[in-house]
Amino acid sequence: MEGKRLLIVDDEVDIVDLLRDVLTSEGYVVDAAPSAEEALRMIHENIYDAAILDFNLPDMDGVMLHRQIRQKDPDLANRSIFMSGLVQSDTNLGYYAAQGAGFLSKPFDIEDVLAAVRSLVDSAE
């Protein structure tokens, strides 16, 4: 796990700060993007072991972002977790399940986040 690189895509600064603090204390290297556009730029420039994607971003929804990630980095798309405070439609939940992606509701339990990230990172090894 030491040095595994994670990308958090969320426009809520408090959530990013919390996740960054917790994940960094667990030994992960954490980058954050406040928008899908910034996330795609970062994915182009860096290699990530896993990603946490907010569903409700200012410039596109999480499903559209995930589809673009799949085009750029299919392995990272397979190691992504969706997170949202919104009630998800059956269509979105079906998409997450079909992609093998996890889903965490906000507010989240930090232990659930850690377990999900560990599972994704372990699948990359």
**CATH number of the CATH domain containing 104:** 3.40.50.2300
Could you tell me the CA-to-CA distances from 83 to 54, 63, 120 in Å, in that order? Answer: 5, 11, 15
- Please state the pTM of the whole predicted model: 0.88
Question: 26-47 pLDDT, tens per residue?
Answer: 999 999 999 999 999 999 999 9
- Return the closest-CA partner of residue 96 out of 80, 107, 116, 110: 80
- The span from the CA of 84 to the CA of 107, in Å, is 8
- For residue 67, the SS3 value is helix
Domain that holds residue 43: 5-108+117-124
**Count of domains for the chain:** 1
pLDDT in tens, the chain (125 residues): 458 999 999 999 999 999 999 999 999 999 999 999 999 999 999 999 999 999 888 999 888 999 999 999 999 999 998 887 765 556 566 666 666 667 787 888 999 999 999 988 887 66
